[in-house]
Amino acid sequence: MPKRGPNLVLVMASVMLAGVIGSVCRALALDALLPQLSPAVITNDSRNQPFGDNFIRLIYVPHGLSVTTLGKPGASRAFFGNSRFYSPPLSASQIVDFFGGTTNGAFDLVAMRCQPSNINLVDPELATWPKVAQFLLDDLTPAPSCPGSSTSDQAYCLAKNFEDPSNQPLILSLFNAISFAKDLYSINNFDGGNLINALYGIGNSSSGLGFSVKGSANQSFSAEQTLVNSVVPEYLLKNVTLAQANCRCVQLPAYNGRDQQPLSITFVWNRGSLDGGACRTVKRILPF
């Protein structure tokens, strides 16, 4: 009777390999499906409610830090991008650059992808100055009197007095919103900037136009550079738990070349099942 052991092992190995290849192909096919819409349609959908239900956020945290919420503890909201703009896969370095941030090769890379089943719970809003005014009214204790003395009272009063009328030419409306932002930053020698950074992660590179500014981290840009580099939309989501926002999240310790590898949003979803409500540690980026 002929020996079947080696042949059986070979067959099983072939089946397993076919399964892996099939998984990779399905993952790549899923990523490839997202950009099939016209870029004009994708951009239009990304800037008008309901924005879809597919958000992505990349951050760097100290090694081993447990991440369980969308943003920092104590923050009211956190910045997210739209997943459609990052498929086919870009590297973490490229994505973070579009976000207006920088990589950190010594820290863990955290990539979260959220598909909220209850969109009202995360309340995604385009990151614009008129929306920030509304957030401040929602999040701050009403000032006893205006203009107020504390940073939070002054910020509340600015938001309360902000109006967003329609104008023609349109530049008048934009000037009004940007003037509000300038006054907000200027409170108590720019303490207003510290306040909105603590609440929403809004820093010196935020445009408030609903776009992140590519390559703007720690850079001084002219108006022309800012407008040219306003490429992809950005949102502010409520800082709820990862589980509440139906997120999946991978946490990747540092290794050589990590931030230059293609980071598939399908990989984040497939490998990022939460671990006790926190991001799941994964050793390396895989294509599926």
Query: What pLDDT, in 10s, does the model give residues 252-283?
Result: 999 999 999 999 999 999 999 999 999 999 99
Residue 248 pLDDT greater than 50, yes or no: yes
Average pLDDT on 69-85 reads: 96
Query: What pLDDT, in 10s, does the model give residues 140-152?
Result: 999 999 999 999 9
Residue 32 pLDDT greater than 60, yes or no: no
Tokens of 38: 């016209």
Band of residue 5 on the pLDDT scale cut at 50, 70, 90:
low
Band of residue 126 on the pLDDT scale cut at 50, 70, 90:
very high
DSSP 207-264: -SBSEEETT-TT----HHHHHHTEEEE-EEEE--BTTTTTEEEEEE---TTGGGSEE-
pLDDT of residue 34: 47
Query: Where do the H-state alpha helices sit in the chain?
Result: 5-33, 39-46, 92-98, 119-122, 129-139, 151-161, 171-186, 191-200, 223-228, 265-271
Q: Is 81 helix (H, G, I), strand (E, B) or coil?
A: strand
pLDDT of residue 146: 96
pLDDT of residue 187: 95
Q: Is 79 helix (H, G, I), strand (E, B) or coil?
A: strand
- Assign 3-class secondary structure to 28-43: HHHHHHHHHCCHHHHH
Q: How far apart are CA 210 and CA 274, in angstroms?
A: 30
Torsion of CA 250, 89, 57, 242, to 10 degrees: -40
Tokens of 253: 């310790």
Residue 9 pLDDT greater than 50, yes or no: no
pLDDT of residue 22: 44
**Secondary element (H or E) of residue 162:** none
Residue bearing tokens 């990989």: 267
Tokens of 120: 């009202």
φ, ψ at 211 (rounded to 5°): -125, 140
Q: Indicate the average pLDDT of the chain.
A: 89
